[in-house]
Structure 1
Amino acid sequence: MVWAKIKESLKESLADNIFQLWIEPLQFEQLQGNRLYLSGPDRYFSAYVKQNFASVIADKLQENGLHATQLVFCEKSRECLPVTSTGKPVSGSQMRLPHVPENNSKFRALHPRYTFDEFMVGECNILAESACRSMVAKDGLVGPCLYINSGTGLGKSHLTHAVAHQVFSESPMTRLHYLTAKQFAAEMVRGIQTRTMDDFKRKYQDNCDILLVEDVHSLTGKKKTQEELNDILDTLIKSGKRVILTSKNTPDDLVGIDSEFRSRMTSGLVTTMKAPDVMTRFRIVKKKALQQNLYLDEDLVGYLANHIRGDVRKIESALIAVRAKARLAGGQVDMDLVREVVASVVGVNQILTAAMICDLVSGQFNVSVKELQSKSRKKVITTPRQIAMYLARKYTEESLVDIGKIFNRDHSTVLHSIKVVSDKLVRDGSVNAQLEILSNKVKQL
């Protein structure tokens, strides 16, 4: 049956919780001419699916050869409403119960994989992830306003998409507005030009339960836009609504931002997402490889995790390249192929540093970089710390002082660590073997 094939295809491309909640309940009614009729349990359900998944389903119809098929949603025992190729209903509108405000949600197209289930949590982002979950749950733990900042490709958009997915899954009638700061500014300019600023303000101040604005750093120097957004934040926060803002800069590093606006943005939790550590990168590589039907052994995953740092999109790019090259090579993925791909992604002239060795040792001993840099004197921490310092001195050109800075130690502590490890190498064969394995891994960096 056509719909059975479409559902299978959707199940592969959508997160499991999204599929089970919004696609599984849909019932195939009939395929009449060039129209495919689907029904939902009620009008609200059908309206939500129409708004959020019509284009995705239409794409799957085309993939299965139904190029000119029109998608039609309906409620059981009710008249069906056709949907155009743009995913908009031809006629009719969503009905509301008396006294229920109109759900005029506006949001960017949500990536189906950008859900909480697909987000890889690590030491680098756990506070931001838990804060976003708190905003969805409305438990008040982070206050009404959440500010997230990070570099490019570290997961800000993934988390804001995840918030939108979760909000619509749990409370479909929530009035959510999700847009970039540039889109907000452009909409405000249109409101001024068309003399509809009252409607503009009413939309965000009176008809919004949760506001998500990305890239607020792009408002630098735009005083009027800052004033308008500041007024909206003030109204929403005072009325107990939720606000999530993202930026590539911390609030203090924002230039050309009004002090009152800056203060309003930081009225709740401010959190920074950092680049993932090696252990988190290892899990990211494994997860994203499986998503692309790539089955890599531990050494290959480890090589990718140790060499591709920072922007997570680089990992995705590398895995796409690995898969493409593997197909040309008959499906075989070996270390030479992975090295070739990594060299094209990060470059071949990478200089080995103490920080890179610290990262490697962190993953090998299953301790965090933060623990290696801490004041802890526990053996499970001091041993890998001393080994990392030893390897850094042996394989890099950095001075004792520079190595010490990586671990928050002075040069005398580095000297002591090198002596301790050197003595163990003479007396303990197991340490010698362990260092040989680690040395080989360092040489591959």
Structure 2
Amino acid sequence: MVWSAIKSSLEASLPKSEFNLWIKPLECQFVNDQNLDLIGPDRFFCAWVEDRYLQLIQDIAQKMGVKGGIRLQAGPQKPLQVAPPHPSGQLRLPGIEDVQSRYRSLHPAFTFDEFMVGESNMLAQSACHALAVGDRTYGNCLFMNSSTGLGKSHLTQAVVHKILDVAPGTKLQYLTAQQFSADMVQNLKNNTMDLFSRKYLNSCEILLVEDIHTLIGKNKTQEELNTILDYLIKSGQRVILTSALSPKKLKGLDEDFRSRMTSGLVTDIESPDFDTRARIIEHKVNVNNLKMSKKLIEHLADKLKGDIRKIESAILGIKAKSCVRKKAPDAALINEVLGSLVENSADINAETIRDLIGRQFKVTTEELRSRSRKRAITYPRQIGMYLTRKYTKESLADIGNMYNRDHSTVLYAIKVITRDMSQKSGTKQQVEMLCEKLKS
């Protein structure tokens, strides 16, 4: 078969891990001498393959007589495939009726092995791994929150992957809050809420619900999920919830529901610090078979802050330009890619803020980084930390490194300046004046 021959060629030319991750899951739906139609697990997966491998597949296919194009599309979403086939051809978790199931597609790369652990996400990763293997060290309920692109979905999917690996018979439910809400509405219309509730109360050993913040204003859904959480948590079942907002910022939620969700461990995921970003970039460089010096990796880590998806986009852009130009990435190529991804160097950054603080308060960088506890040093240092958090995407750990402090000291400084601005007009005026200088 043509597709089998193409896969064999790809297997010979790509690293084994790369082939298994991105080529092996593809299925051939149709092939003739004009077209080759392929199906991938989901849209994200297909977009990734299209960016990285479609041209290579096209070239091999043409050599094998396929004169037309390659068409790649996402196949229909299926339940997790861990039980014997249902007559319909779909697979389902044991003990759960397939008509009741709601599962998100699993990304093959979202595993614990592929997750880069750093100070910003260590607690979240440890708690997720413990719950995945049945360890109750961190309790049986976890609430994770972070801004987009920092790994919430990666960790929840890693939990599911791990459970399927070590305990595939586990009865689990993994879905978004939107899916839960839509499923509940449908069961209300069909007058089958008893079946809906029973799916979670009687057939669920671990529940994972993402994007809880989308339930703001949906009182009936909150009430139903609150009842389910109450039963599962009290009966010792495992629960993992994620949100783009911290619990205290979830305005419009029922207080009893908020209390129930946060009855266990609550942890946020910060933007990765420099060292973690460097390890993420080095890993992705190796996965993409790129040759890049440590100096260039550190340059990328210095520029690509915040959303990890920005790192993925940069690596894809670097690989694409490197392939087109048939040359290894150099500083010029990397800066060309960074130009469309990072803010202009003239924008406010941590160094600009520290320099301004030094000039304004007549202190040196060495003094700001010293262990001195003199008010003349600690006060400007705290304002510098506050302004850096306000105007940049630096993580608490990165801000701490700027001033030779740890992230807890940065957090304390931010709280102190925030409090003083609300209580002392002099502090407020001084900070506002510095803000104006930064903007100008």
Which TM-score bucket, shorter chain as reference?
A: 0.5 to 0.7
Secondary structure of residue in 1 paired with 2:341: helix
Of the three residues 299, 315, 319, the one matched with 2:315 is 319
**Counterpart of 1:5 in structure 2: which amino acid?**
S
Shift of 1:225: 0.4
Shift of 1:87: 8.2
1:252 maps to which residue? 248
Cα distance in 1 for residues equivalent to 2:382 and 2:76: 59
Structure number with greater Rg is 1
Contact map agreement 2:10 2:19 (CA 8 A) in 1: no
**Counterpart of 1:171 in structure 2: which amino acid?**
A
Cα distance in 1 for residues equivalent to 2:20 and 2:301: 26
Task: Tell me the alpha carbon deviations over residues 288-307 of structure 1, each in whole angstroms, 9 at most, x when there is no partner.
Answer: 11122222111110111001
2:362 maps to which residue? none
Cα distance in 2 for residues equivalent to 1:316 and 1:180: 24
Secondary structure of residue in 2 paired with 1:101: coil
Secondary structure of residue in 1 paired with 2:95: coil
Cα distance in 2 for residues equivalent to 1:282 and 1:405: 28
* Moved >6 Å (runs of 4+): 62-66, 92-96, 355-358
Of the three residues 279, 285, 291, the one matched with 2:287 is 291
Say what the alpha-carbon RMSD is for the aligned residues: 4.2
Task: Tell me the alpha carbon deviations over residues 398-428 of structure 1, each in whole angstroms, 9 at most, x when there is no partner.
Answer: x9954454569xxxxxxxx9xxxxxxxxxxx
**Counterpart of 2:95 in structure 1: which amino acid?**
P
- 1:148 partnered with 2:112: no
- 1:12 partnered with 2:18: yes
Of the three residues 104, 108, 112, the one matched with 2:104 is 108
1:345 maps to which residue? 341
Task: Tell me the alpha carbon deviations over residues 247-274 of structure 1, each in whole angstroms, 9 at most, x when there is no partner.
Answer: 0111111110001000110111000100
Of the three residues 222, 226, 247, the one matched with 1:226 is 222
Compared with structure 1, are the counterparts of its residues 283 and 186 closer, same or farther at alpha carbon in structure 2 (3 Å cutoff)?
A: same
1:304 maps to which residue? 300
Mean CA deviation greater in 310-319 or 339-348 = 339-348
Contact map agreement 1:214 1:247 (CA 8 A) in 2: yes
1:168 maps to which residue? 164
Contact map agreement 2:354 2:384 (CA 8 A) in 1: no
Compared with structure 1, are the counterparts of its residues 174 and 95 closer, same or farther at alpha carbon in structure 2 (3 Å cutoff)?
A: same
TM-score scaled to structure 1, two decimals? Answer: 0.64
Cα distance in 2 for residues equivalent to 1:123 and 1:206: 38
1:394 maps to which residue? none
Compared with structure 1, are the counterparts of its residues 95 and 311 closer, same or farther at alpha carbon in structure 2 (3 Å cutoff)?
A: closer
Compared with structure 1, are the counterparts of its residues 211 and 389 closer, same or farther at alpha carbon in structure 2 (3 Å cutoff)?
A: same
1:262 maps to which residue? 258
Compared with structure 1, are the counterparts of its residues 102 and 188 closer, same or farther at alpha carbon in structure 2 (3 Å cutoff)?
A: closer
Cα distance in 2 for residues equivalent to 1:352 and 1:223: 42
Cα distance in 2 for residues equivalent to 1:278 and 1:150: 18
- 1:208 partnered with 2:214: no
Cα distance in 1 for residues equivalent to 2:172 and 2:207: 6
Task: Tell me the alpha carbon deviations over residues 107-149 of structure 1, each in whole angstroms, 9 at most, x when there is no partner.
Answer: 2110000000000000000000000011112221122210000
Equivalent positions of 1:29-428 (< 5 A) are 86=76, 91=87, 101-102=95-96, 106-348=102-344, 349-354=346-351, 386=366, 389=369, 401-406=379-384
Shift of 1:179: 0.8
Cα distance in 2 for residues equivalent to 1:207 and 1:194: 21
Aligned length: 328
**Counterpart of 2:214 in structure 1: which amino acid?**
S
Contact map agreement 2:116 2:279 (CA 8 A) in 1: yes
Compared with structure 1, are the counterparts of its residues 95 and 87 closer, same or farther at alpha carbon in structure 2 (3 Å cutoff)?
A: closer
Secondary structure of residue in 1 paired with 2:131: helix
Shift of 1:106: 3.8
Shift of 1:169: 0.9
Cα distance in 1 for residues equivalent to 2:106 and 2:353: 35
Cα distance in 1 for residues equivalent to 2:331 and 2:117: 27
TM-score scaled to structure 2, two decimals? Answer: 0.64
Q: Where does structure 1 lack aligned partners over 5 or more consecutive residues?
A: 24-33, 35-51, 67-84, 359-384, 391-398, 409-416, 418-445
Q: Where does structure 2 lack aligned partners over 5 or more consecutive residues?
A: 26-30, 32-40, 65-74, 79-84, 356-364, 371-376, 387-402, 404-440
Compared with structure 1, are the counterparts of its residues 287 and 356 closer, same or farther at alpha carbon in structure 2 (3 Å cutoff)?
A: farther
**Counterpart of 1:12 in structure 2: which amino acid?**
E
**Counterpart of 1:197 in structure 2: which amino acid?**
M
1:421 maps to which residue? none
Compared with structure 1, are the counterparts of its residues 103 and 90 closer, same or farther at alpha carbon in structure 2 (3 Å cutoff)?
A: closer
**Counterpart of 2:197 in structure 1: which amino acid?**
K
Task: Tell me the alpha carbon deviations over residues 374-419 of structure 1, each in whole angstroms, 9 at most, x when there is no partner.
Answer: xxxxxxxxxxx948749xxxxxxxx9954454569xxxxxxxx9xx
Cα distance in 1 for residues equivalent to 2:194 and 2:144: 30
Cα distance in 1 for residues equivalent to 2:154 and 2:353: 27
Contact map agreement 2:368 2:381 (CA 8 A) in 1: no
Contact map agreement 1:103 1:175 (CA 8 A) in 2: no
Cα distance in 1 for residues equivalent to 2:368 and 2:277: 19
Compared with structure 1, are the counterparts of its residues 159 and 6 closer, same or farther at alpha carbon in structure 2 (3 Å cutoff)?
A: farther
Secondary structure of residue in 2 paired with 1:300: helix
Shift of 1:332: 3.1
Contact map agreement 1:106 1:176 (CA 8 A) in 2: no
Compared with structure 1, are the counterparts of its residues 342 and 250 closer, same or farther at alpha carbon in structure 2 (3 Å cutoff)?
A: same
